[in-house]
A and B are shown apart, each in its own frame.
Chain A
């Protein structure tokens, strides 16, 4: 009986934690925009380096796409990203 209760409590805690993590990921932060803008700018000139940057950021292709689609759905975030990418592209020239 005690073991069952303990198991249910642990499972509930895991579910709650995973749900809250999902919510945090869905909100795109300024930091995330900057990271993906850097990678996007680097992709235009040096693919290998861009992939290295992704590895350094511990970012997968799916995560990158998720951030990009979240940015694209919001007009303000889109404008911020496009501006940031232009700035980084000039830096990487």
Chain B
């Protein structure tokens, strides 16, 4: 079977500065891939390449075996929906209208919304639990509701692949879990960049760890998240155990290893007691 998405040797640089170099990976249909890495690792840039907002200097990206740059933008938008952070929080648009913009790639000029379209919008709003707020204005919603509204729009877009750029940003933990469970329940292939490593480990099928524009590791969470890598890439000291419910890696961090902290003795003692193997450089 062809992979949902296959990226091959993606390189992109700005003003001689390399942002992405030699990124290759593939995503199996129906799987959820978590994109992790420190700030500035190139997660957003990689996603931008995938949704064609920037064009990589070299490399190919294939969507179900087809080169994405050969597809008309509108056709591409019917297969790939993206949830981003750039929607103005003060947007004066009713939820129903916002979600209906997901129909844009399917509509010809002057084409009106059909009863079927209205149903699709209403169903999507129900699916994200916002049907009672359909006439509310976007800017009056809470952070979690806003994020769910954007996902409802993506649902209306009927994509085969859903990309999300930090969908859990600025949300409290309940909404973080809720949003990712909602995304999983859609049954489409998903790539999401996530900051919280424990959340990423628990909610994604596979993880892709980026560091300085390169793929450090890709695969199952247990293989990607090791104490050594967390130390090398994030510069933190941690201990990894198994999550009692999911069996996925569970990371506990140790504090006080920043060079700014003078008294290390206490922290070192704590580390010895807990049996952590690696210390941040």
Q: Do the two chains bind? A: no
